[in-house]
């Protein structure tokens, strides 16, 4: 067997060192570095979680205070509204309310007693702005009419002007329709009892009832109609109509009224 030369021994030594370094880096250093990165990320996440928990713990007193204030505010807001009532409860509530103002209930029917939408308020448009818009439209129409008359006097074709006037009217109507559609909006839903009643009494007492209901946040009167009370004379029934309008003279009238009672869960 031939002996290795000094150069071959040096090459083998260099190759062995390279292999040792390669396998050391691949199997020792790289896995250790990856593990270090994972542990470092976990430590950063744990530190962020710790800081978040410290901030949350520090904010606990203010959060509890805000919660207590919101609970008290909600309770005070719910206090003015009655708890959910069945149809019999609505009957008793409104019947007693009418009797308190010397109005005798003659008929009562519950139209609905369930969740319903409460209509929201829409922006108010002043009469001055509406008048300005109407004035502008009238001016445009008058100008167009004057143009047509001038064209007629000079033997000019009036058909084009008439078509232009019709087009302007159509555009104005379309804009008005879009405005009305955008104003129809609904709000949140709540428990609403809709009750139709027929009452007998005087107009003065009914107006007192209107004022009382207007001062209450838990109900409103959405519609009412006042008609003279029918009087029975012998076998015939007659209705007194003084100029077809009941007068506030203390006489008895019949009132058809619609109540909406707002309720909440407590």
How far out from the chain centre does Cα 64 lie? 29
The 3 state secondary structure assigned to the chain is CCCCCHHHHHHHHHHHHHHHHHHHHHHHHHHHHHHHHHHHHHHHHHHHHHHHHHHHHHCHHHHHHHHHHHHHHHHHHHHCCCECCCHHHHHHHHHHHHHHCCCEEEEEEEEEEEEEEEECCCCCCCHHHHHHHHHHHHHHHHHHHHHHHHHHHCCCCCHHHHHHHHHHHHHHHHHHHHHHHHHCCEEEEEEEEEEEEEEEECHHHHHHHHHHHHCCCCEEEEEEEEEECEEEECCEEEECCCCCCCCCCCCCEEEEEEEEEEEECC
For the chain, the structural domain boundaries read 1-58, 87-120+185-263, 127-183
Confidence of residue 262 (pLDDT cuts 50, 70, 90): very high
Region of poorest pLDDT, from 26-30, 55-59, 63-67, 170-174 = 170-174
Q: What is the distance between the alpha carbons of residues 214 and 219, in angstroms, rounded to a whole number? A: 8
Q: Please give the pLDDT value at position 13.
A: 86
Q: What is the distance between the alpha carbons of residues 193 and 84, in angstroms, rounded to a whole number? A: 9
Superfamily of domain 87-120+185-263: Ribosomal protein S6/Translation elongation factor EF1B (3.30.70.60)
Q: Please give the pLDDT value at position 246.
A: 52
Average pLDDT over residues 42-65: 92
pTM: 0.51
Q: Please give the pLDDT value at position 210.
A: 94
């Amino acid at each position: 067997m031939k002996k290795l030369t000094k150069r071959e021994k040096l090459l083998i030594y260099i190759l062995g060192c390279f292999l040792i370094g390669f396998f050391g880096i691949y199997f020792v250093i790289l896995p250790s570095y990856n593990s270090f990165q994972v542990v470092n990320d976990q430590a950063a996440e744990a530190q962020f979680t710790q800081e978040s928990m410290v901030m949350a713990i520090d904010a606990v007193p203010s959060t509890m205070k805000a919660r207590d204030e919101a609970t008290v505010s909600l309770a005070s807001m719910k206090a003015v509204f009655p708890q959910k009532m069945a149809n019999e409860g609505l009957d008793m509530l409104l019947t007693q309310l009418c009797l308190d103002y010397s109005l005798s209930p003659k008929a009562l029917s519950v139209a609905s007693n369930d969740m319903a939408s409460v209509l929201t308020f829409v922006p108010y448009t002043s009469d001055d702005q509406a008048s300005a818009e109407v004035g502008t439209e009238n001016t445009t129409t008058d100008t167009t009419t004057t143009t047509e008359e001038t064209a007629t006097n000079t033997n000019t074709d009036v058909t084009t002007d008439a078509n232009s006037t019709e087009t302007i009217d159509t555009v104005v109507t379309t804009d008005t329709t879009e405005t009305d559609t955008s104003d129809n909006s609904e709000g949140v839903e709540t428990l609403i009892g809709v009750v139709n009643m027929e009452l007998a009494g005087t107009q003065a007492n009914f107006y007192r009832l209107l004022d009382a209901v207007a001062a209450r946040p838990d109900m409103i009167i959405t519609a009412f109609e006042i008609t003279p009370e029918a009087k029975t004379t012998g076998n015939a029934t007659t209705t007194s109509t003084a100029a077809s309008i009941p007068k506030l003279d203390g006489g008895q009238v019949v009132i058809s009224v619609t109540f909406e009672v707002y309720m909440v869960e407590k």
